[in-house]
Structure 1
């Protein structure tokens, strides 16, 4: 049975929520950002025509002096413990950035944003494997 977009979203959100739950509550700002899955996203067409990927994105605002990179490393360690495979994907601003993929094709990048002019944030981007869109799905306007 093929993965549906609704199922892809459900699992993507579950992964994000399970990672967010690992962030110590005392490091989370009371100024909350939208919860995983609460913002509708536009699925992305697969490059090989194999369906659509659900692009889940969530962020957690931290308290002023929290070490965002230490939280990223904690979450990455959890992914490793769950058997996710990692590939280095460094950028100038995120030299330790990694892409993690699990056995069924979900991928995630966890990063931190700390600009100094706002509270630090941990960003959890999770993409589903290709999924089947519902009938009459319009990839240019439909969001889930």
Structure 2
């Protein structure tokens, strides 16, 4: 259980993240009236935080928009499949799983010892863009992490 000063710090961080995200959305016209925003959940803290922030902003935004949570199941061994659907369900957010075996493609194509990030990223983005096109998604929201700061990128 979090108490006192620690809880104050958490609340302060949450408010700052919401304020900065809301300002960025407004300043750069990232979300418009009637948009369907696909929030890509990886299972990491950044995508969970992004979804939480967007849910809170959705309730007080001057425009109406819908959220759809999506996970790209890349068939990596050991990924806990039940966590994300349960989380989105608890929040009342529609949830979809895109199944695309990028893992075996990357393992087959990229030589041992070489970085897989470039190819893996292109395969992931392709699957996400295709799902967005097929499901009338107008915005894609991705959570990114760098140097312990949370950054969001809307495409």
TM-score by length of 1: 0.27
Q: Choose between structure 1 and 2: higher helix proportion.
A: 2
Higher relative contact order (CA 8 A, sep 6+): 1
TM-score (norm 2): 0.25
